[in-house]
């Protein structure tokens, strides 16, 4: 790891000013991606600007029928929050299933969304729940925020301050974890709004998290979870990977989707 300067601003304005004035700057939140990447020399930053002490990036609050979570909130805090568990238990489950205790205690919601790893869990929830990504400059709909593998709509010096989730009638997240990292090989988030579902996939798509429209269409027509077996998903842009062949991933996608949908239907148990 190359040497770097470390800054710990207390306000958003200070963080942005530091970023604009510094040579080769990088924001850091939990550091769970930034630090291993720097150690492996995949990333070089001369100035790390730590966002974790900025008050405006903290907090969990229910407002106007939505749930707003500060960007620097850790996965462990989300998993254990009484408010999240009551209002959006599927998100608490998702956060509690990320990696291990150490990563959950450091890694943050904002860092995960900004990084947009194609196997990360939160992007699936953000898309399925029509999240609004609130930044230092504007508010971006999740559908416009994720622009490709490890790519987002964030511009230079733009900081995610909070994520605002809509609240469905029921939601569930099912994940087949990578045995070493815990990252999703296949993760499916299902959100039911009345008789309408939004289903998203993470871990297996060549474009990062995506909607599973073919399943959504069948569900609106009244399909049961088992009815998803017959849906053609050959068009999905699935990642090629010798460890997890496409046929295996397709099988898991249907399995995870059926389980997630069943968990959103009151009278279906799995």
Ligand X SMILES: Cc1cc2nc3c(=O)[nH]c(=O)nc-3n(C[C@H](O)[C@H](O)[C@H](O)COP(=O)(O)OP(=O)(O)OC[C@H]3O[C@@H](n4cnc5c(N)ncnc54)[C@H](O)[C@@H]3O)c2cc1C
Which residues sit opposite 139 in a β-bridge? Answer: 134
Quick one: which segment of 59-67, 117-125, 212-220, 230-238 binds ligand X (CB under 6 A)?
A: 117-125
Quick one: which segment of 5-13, 14-22, 120-128, 256-264 binds ligand X (CB under 6 A)?
A: 120-128
Quick one: which segment of 60-68, 110-118, 137-145, 212-220 binds ligand X (CB under 6 A)?
A: 110-118
- Out of 34, 84, 124, 228, the only residue in the binding site for ligand X (CB under 6 A) is 34
DSSP class of residue 110?
H
Smallest separation (angstroms) from ligand X to the CB of 193:
24
Q: Which is nearer to ligand X, 223 or 260 (CB)?
A: 260
Helix, strand, coil % over all residues of the chain, rounded to 5: 35, 25, 40
Residue that has been written with the tokens 């009551």 in this structure:
86
Smallest separation (angstroms) from ligand X to the CB of 94:
8
Site map for ligand X, 68-107, x if CB under 6 A? ---x---x----------------------xx---x--xx
Quick one: which segment of 8-16, 85-93, 180-188, 245-253 binds ligand X (CB under 6 A)?
A: 180-188
Q: Which is nearer to ligand X, 178 or 211 (CB)?
A: 178
d(CA 64, CA 62): 7
> Rounded to 10 degrees, what is the CA torsion of 266, 186, 117, 210?
-60
- The tokens for 265 are 């239907």
DSSP class of residue 26?
E
Q: Which is nearer to ligand X, 67 or 154 (CB)?
A: 154
204 is a contact residue toward ligand X (CB under 6 A): no
Smallest separation (angstroms) from ligand X to the CB of 115:
4
Q: What is the largest CA-CA distance in the chain?
A: 58
Q: How far is CA 238 from CA 175, 210, 253, in A?
A: 16, 11, 10
Interacting residues of 255 by C-beta distance below 8 A, sequence separation 6+: 176
- Out of 27, 145, 173, 197, the only residue in the binding site for ligand X (CB under 6 A) is 27
Which residues sit opposite 199 in a β-bridge? Answer: 190
Q: How many helices (H) and strands (E) does the chain have?
A: 11, 14
Q: What angle do CA 26, 57, 145 make, to 5 degrees?
A: 65
Residue that has been written with the tokens 């039911």 in this structure:
192
115 is a contact residue toward ligand X (CB under 6 A): yes
Q: What angle do CA 149, 153, 154 make, to 5 degrees?
A: 110
Quick one: which segment of 115-123, 209-217, 227-235, 260-268 binds ligand X (CB under 6 A)?
A: 115-123
Quick one: which segment of 23-31, 85-93, 215-223, 241-249 binds ligand X (CB under 6 A)?
A: 23-31
- Out of 67, 73, 121, 260, the only residue in the binding site for ligand X (CB under 6 A) is 121
227 is a contact residue toward ligand X (CB under 6 A): no
Residues that bind ligand X (CB under 6 A): 26-34, 36, 51, 71, 75, 98-99, 103, 106-108, 110-112, 114-115, 120-122, 154, 159-160, 181-183
């Amino acid at each position: 790891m190359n040497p770097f300067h470390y800054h710990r601003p207390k306000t958003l304005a200070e963080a942005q000013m530091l970023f604009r004035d510094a040579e080769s700057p990088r924001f850091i939140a939990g550091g769970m991606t930034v630090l291993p990447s720097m150690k492996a020399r995949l990333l070089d930053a001369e100035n790390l600007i730590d966002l974790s002490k900025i008050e405006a990036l903290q907090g969990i609050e229910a407002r106007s029928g939505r749930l707003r979570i500060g960007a620097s909130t850790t996965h462990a805090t989300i998993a254990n929050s009484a408010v999240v568990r009551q209002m959006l238990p599927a998100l608490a489950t998702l956060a509690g299933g990320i990696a291990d205790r150490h990563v959950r205690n450091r890694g943050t919601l904002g860092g995960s969304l900004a990084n947009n790893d194609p196997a990360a869990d939160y992007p699936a929830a953000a898309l399925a729940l029509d999240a609004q990504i609130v930044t230092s400059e504007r508010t971006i709909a999740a559908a416009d925020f994720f622009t490709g593998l490890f790519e987002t709509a964030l511009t230079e010096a733009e900081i995610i301050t909070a994520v605002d989730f809509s609240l469905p009638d029921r939601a569930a997240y099912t994940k087949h974890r990578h045995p070493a990292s815990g990252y999703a090989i296949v993760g499916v988030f299902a959100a039911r709004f009345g008789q309408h579902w939004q289903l998203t996939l993470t871990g297996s798509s060549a474009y990062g998290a995506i909607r599973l429209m073919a399943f959504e269409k069948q569900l609106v027509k009244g399909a049961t979870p088992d009815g998803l077996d017959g849906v053609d998903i050959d068009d999905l842009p699935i990642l090629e990977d010798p460890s997890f062949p496409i046929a295996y991933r397709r099988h898991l996608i249907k399995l995870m989707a059926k389980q997630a949908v069943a968990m959103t239907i009151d009278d279906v148990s799995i």
